[in-house]
Amino acid sequence: MKLNKEKVIIIIINLAIIGAIAGAAFSLLPSEIIFKNTFVESIKQHTVPNAFNDDITKFPDMQIGSGAEKDLADRSDPEVQKTVADYKKIPDYDSLSYLPGKPNSITDKISSHVIILVGLGFLYLFAIVFSAVFSGIIGSTLVALIASGLVYYFNQVKEIPVMMTQLKTAYVFTFVAAPEHIGSGVEALKVFAGRYCEIAVLAKSILTFDWQLKTGLFISIAVLASLLFDKRTGSYITQLEDKISEAMRYQAENNKMQTVMTDIKKIDDKLRLLSARLTSLQTLTRVISKSLDYNEVLKETLKVVQQVISAEKCSIWLLEENSDKLTLRESSGWKDEEKAAFNSSPAEDVGIVGEALRNGRVMVETEHRGFSNVAEGTAMPSKACAPLKLGDKKLGIISIEKFQDDGKAEQEELRMLELIATLAAVAIENSNLFKKTEMLANTDGLTKLYTRRYMESFFEAELEKSRRYNHPLSFIISDIDHFKSFNDTYGHQIGDFVLEETAKVLKTAVRNVDLAARYGGEEFVAVLPETDYKGAFTFAERLRKLIEGKVYEDQKSGQKLRVTVSIGVASYPLHSRDRMEIIKKADAALYIAKESGRNRVKVAPITKEQAAQLKQQP
């Protein structure tokens, strides 16, 4: 009978049934029938080398340990006692699940194992008959041969060696454990242990006969069942084959329909994706057009990159002004330790970062590194880089370190990345220009400190926070002593030099949350949030000593000069709750410092009521 596609499918189904039966055999037939494998290995160590490789019928004449096996029953012999003690050191000795004095327990276990093995083999008949019905003589014979081979494997190759090893172990173990349970002598032990040889020979014979019987039986049933069903059920099988063919045609048409539906769904998903990307770009455009906040622009850009490019891990690196070094400014998906290790990179990086900056276009790489860590010599891989540039001006790059699901960027996504980079570059440049303009408006040209106007707005904002959260706030005002005569003596250029250097000392002394400003002329001020009058006094005294100890050396003239300052301190809420009043009282304290001899710090005087309130404070 010619094999066709339907019959091949039937054969595959039969092979699956056979595989399931074989799997059941593996699960139902344990490899540790009586003893654990670790116990068997320990027993082997107390026998002569390669003893377990011999047939079990040779065991009565075998030497075990330091003497003949029958001598192990003689517990009066010191050598025997030592050997028995060695056996008892085996970890599994006290955890055996049967009584060694009752051989029937071992016989039952071996018998049950053989019965299960023989019974499982007969299940193959169902597969053979089923194959004969649907596949004819060729299919059923093939299944019969495969089933015979599996019976041979389980009987001869797998289970007989396992049972022989278990019975050999039981034989050796009898001479140690049995006397303690049955109190037998040497002759009784020999008869008792000899039963294991008989069980081994019987089990081996049964399994060998079972394999031979089933081989003939399987092939015979395959041939007879094929002839029988080919004559009586040929028409039914033909009809069934026609139905199967018709079902397969319907399945093929259904598959085509499913393919069309899948294509439609892909198109719909793509349209939805494009719509989502367009919405994200519109959001970015609105942010760029409305916001001049540098950090907001960077965060919104990375947010859009994640949505549009499907980036799981991305970052923005900007070129430092007047430098060829890239600095990490914003990241998403990065761990804290990665931010610490990869926070800067040379712009001429040999990876795709350098290529993107040099060529001015999006670069994609899957193997080469992206950023170099100069300090550690390690690398952060970059999958794609887009340069941030305006004309010939290079601002930095957008880097994608990892795509979602470890995927790759498609060409359309790379074009979107280039568009995002262009929009982001415009926004970053606008933000930079705004910051520079704002800095010029709020910074004193000579000292580079904040102006009086900016200080007053900052002071008012911090004062409002202090009122809301009930925090102290202090204000100090300093004046360079005898600065007018100093100017008259050394000239205005030296005077300007002293102002610049004094401003540098003040800028270095304040915290990040503080604000230092030039109040006018030679007067400098500082707003100290969350600082009471004691903390302000300590800061002012430290500042006074820094200025007093500084040597002002003019590089042009070579003159070395020293100056001192007088400082006044006032605090909220101790001296007043009003900004102008606090400034007025700090200025009064400065006047007192000058009148008291200059080069000193004075805190604004307080009234009796204020002193009483101060004593009540913890």
Q: What secondary structure letter does DSSP report for 604?
A: P
Residue 198 bears catalytic tag: no
Task: For residues 529 and 617, give the distance between their C-alpha atoms in angstroms, rounded to a whole number.
Answer: 19
Q: According to the 3-state scheme, what is the secondary structure of 253-292?
A: HHHHHHHHHHHHHHHHHHHHHHHHHHHHHHHHHHHHHHCC
User: According to DSSP H, which parts of 385-446 are helical?
Assistant: 411-442
Task: For residues 161 and 579, give the distance between their C-alpha atoms in angstroms, rounded to a whole number.
Answer: 98
Give the tokens for residue 547. Answer: 């200025």
3-state secondary structure of 135: helix
Cβ contacts of 231 within 8 Å, gap of 6 or more? none
Task: For residues 570 and 593, give the distance between their C-alpha atoms in angstroms, rounded to a whole number.
Answer: 13
User: According to DSSP H, which parts of 343-386 are helical?
Assistant: 352-359
Q: Are 135 and 11 in contact (CB under 8 A)?
A: yes
Cβ contacts of 432 within 8 Å, gap of 6 or more? 294
Task: For residues 17 and 146, give the distance between their C-alpha atoms in angstroms, rounded to a whole number.
Answer: 12
Report the interhelical angle of 533-549 vs 492-509 (nearest 10°): 140
Residue 19 Cα distances to 15, 142, 146, angstroms: 6, 14, 10
Phi, psi of 524 (to 5 degrees): -125, 150
Residue 570 β-bridge partners = 475
Cis, peptide link before residue 573, omega less than 30° from 0? yes
- Of 472, 475, 476, residue with least CA distance to 600: 476
Catalytically annotated residue among 159, 522, 548, 581: 522
Residue 91 Cα distances to 75, 94, 610, angstroms: 21, 7, 85
Residue with tokens 């060695």: 86
Q: Are 534 and 590 in contact (CB under 8 A)?
A: no
Question: In the structure, how many helices (H) and strands (E) does the chain have?
Answer: 18, 17
Task: For residues 45 and 172, give the distance between their C-alpha atoms in angstroms, rounded to a whole number.
Answer: 11
3-state secondary structure of 75: coil
> What is the helix, strand, coil percentage profile of the chain, to 5?
65, 15, 20
Q: Are 502 and 565 in contact (CB under 8 A)?
A: yes
Q: Can you give the length of the chain in residues?
A: 618
Q: Are 83 and 46 in contact (CB under 8 A)?
A: yes
Q: Which amino acids are annotated catalytic?
A: 522
